[in-house]
Chains A and B, each alone.
Chain A
Amino acid sequence: MAARKSPSQKQALRGPKRRVERDAVFLNVPYDQRFENLFLAYIAGVSAFGFAPRATLEIPFSQRRLERIVSLIGISQYSVHDMSRVQLDSADVYIHDGTVRGVFRELCNAFVRTRRQPSVVQMMQIYRVLRSNFAAILRKAGARDPFNARVFLDLSVLASAAADKLVNP
């Protein structure tokens, strides 16, 4: 007769329980120069919704990188996957037309907040704050593009601060 496992035994078999961060959004986007504008747009848009953007850029290159990426996806409440470089036949996609405004429009279609619902105009203002400080942030990090950990973290906090002021309570 098979013995029934207790909840604690089941949990032990599944591994340690991960805490899901309710305000974290995992961004899965291409990391290349042509995608720079849209990358900033994703950070601005996600922050406008009161989320904290997360990306694999935060994770240093190491042997356990893949494991940590999986764990990062696991702890994020939502994931945004940009499939603009992939041929898709799936029906459930949001099409941003490769524009900053398109990214904002589709984020507004994907998420609906009960309170502090941001508008595309407010998202654009947050984007402008990021753009205005972009060169200084790159200079400070000694980077050439936004696809590195330091720049990503700075842009995310900057966008969050701008969203906190611009998106009406």
Chain B
Amino acid sequence: MTQAIRVDSPFATPYRTAKVLGVSKSRTKELIELAGRFTDRLLEHKEARTGQSAVNGHARRKSAASVRRKSSVDGGTKISITKASAKRAKATG
């Protein structure tokens, strides 16, 4: 029965790999750019397929105006900031 090896060494960066193997800095930079071109395309394709990206993920977060905050356990003040309540206050005032 084979047994897996648990690895907890740090993940080698391309710079680290290049240093270990003795690849020049300029060539390393060139290869990183080359890899970047392909990986970016792959990641874009993946995002398009799943219909989700890091940018959209942030946009989906609630805006400050619609955040409703409740006070802690002691039952103190209840702060509710919503666009609707602000409008209502404006109408009555």
Contact = CB atoms under 8 A, between A and B. Distances in A.
Interface of A: 21-24, 47, 49-52, 54, 58, 77-78, 91-94, 109-116, 125, 128-129, 132-133, 153-154, 156-167, 169
Contacts of A163: 11
A18 to B, nearest CB: 14
B17 A156 contact: yes
Contacts of A167: 11
A23 B10 contact: yes
A101 B34 CA distance: 24
A92 B1 CA distance: 6
B4 A109 contact: yes
Contacts of A116: 11
Determine chain B's interface SS by DSSP, over half rule: helix
Interface string B1-24: 110111111111110111011110
A52 B9 contact: no
B27 A111 contact: no
Contacts, number: 118
A129 B31 CA distance: 11
B24 to A, nearest CB: 10
B32 interface: yes
Given A114-B8, A164-B14, 18 more contacts: A23-B10, A47-B12, A58-B22, A93-B2, A110-B2, A110-B4, A112-B5, A112-B6, A125-B39, A133-B34, A157-B14, A157-B27, A157-B32, A158-B34, A160-B17, A161-B36, A165-B39, A165-B43
A165 B8 contact: no
Given A93-B2, A165-B39, A50 B34 contact: no
Given A114-B7, A114-B8, A157 B17 contact: yes
A51 to B, nearest CB: 6
Contacts of B32: 157, 161
Q: B8, B35, B39: which has the most chain A beta carbons within 10 Å?
A: B35
A67 to B, nearest CB: 18
B37 to A, nearest CB: 9
